[in-house]
Amino acid sequence: MKVTAIEEHFLTAEVREAWSALPREDQDGGQGLHLGEIEDQLDDLADGRIQLMDESGIDVQVLSLTTPALHTLEQEQSVLLAKRTNDLIAATVADCPDRFQGFATLPTPSPEEAALELNRSVRDLGLKGALLCGRTRYKNLDHPDFWPIFETAARLRAPLFIHPQIPQRVVRDVYYSGFGSKVDLAFATFGLGWHYESGIQFLRMILAGVFDRFPELQIILGHWGEVVLFYTERLKSLDRVTKLQRPILDYMRQNLYVTPSGMFNHTYLQRSIEIVGTERILFSTDYPYQYRPGGGARTFLEESALTHQQKRAFAHENWERLSTATR
């Protein structure tokens, strides 16, 4: 069975240098998560990556620049790096089209340019959508400045993946500090902070009316819906006070896809299916962060309680249907 993993990351020396050159107060704070063996795996877009894909049972990776992507950079620099990064993704896909696809990297500090780059990446380069890392500095993703990106994505029928980004420093200081630097960083990122951050960005888009304005827009959330998918019983109560065109749960079932991001948990899989349905789950391993030897990715799929047809949908068919709708 073909397996396509849609949240699979890389990093370039050029982007890494741009992050490091930022003033300390503008830096993401999570650069330490991209070092050592992880750094080597992020940098490799050739044979070493393919070998680990084979070992994990992954046939196709959809490549994306890792967090925080270009969201923390200045406008002009972000535009330049977006073009170079997307050209690199397209060249990598062209070199090995049976193993790689790509999500565009967008210069969100310059939203109008980001919309143009999304159009170029999809129409000219053949990329499958874009990956966004939530807010851009202090602007949340629902800010009106970013609506040209949503308009372009909806017109192109190109999905947008909302990936985690570390919470703002002021939030980290209040909620995720006091336990030592290593624990604080883990708590604010992969421990919990990343996931609240992403889930809240998606909810803000709903509450701001983004999907009422662009009903065809499709969003992907990793980690089985970034916490919020498991809190629908409370989130539904927002219907009493919002003036949206649809109930909150409808946006989750009509504008959202979810993916495990290497969290191979059968209980979470079943819960996600109960909310969004088997046609809105996509496979992913969160390479290289959740890579583990032994073929666990494919084993999780094969050992699930899904029917054979549902496994095929999860493994690749749902993604193919979503990505081929792009025009």
DSSP readout, 254-314? HSEEE--TT---HHHHHHHHHHH-GGGB-----BTTT--TTTHHHHHHHHSS--HHHHHII
- Look at phi and psi of residue 104 and say left if phi exceeds 0, alpha if psi is from -120 to 50, else beta: beta
CB 77 within 8 A of CB 40: no
Q: Does 286 participate in catalysis according to the annotation?
A: yes
CB 14 within 8 A of CB 42: no
Angle (nearest 5°) at CA 304 between 301 and 309: 75
Kindly give the interhelix angle for 47-56 and 296-303, rounded to the nearest 10 degrees.
30
Task: End-to-end CA distance of the chain: give it in Å, rounded.
Answer: 27
Q: Which residue among the candidates 28, 142, 184, 286 is catalytic per the annotation? A: 286
CB 193 within 8 A of CB 166: yes
CB 262 within 8 A of CB 286: yes
CB 281 within 8 A of CB 253: no
**Residues assigned a catalytic role:** 286
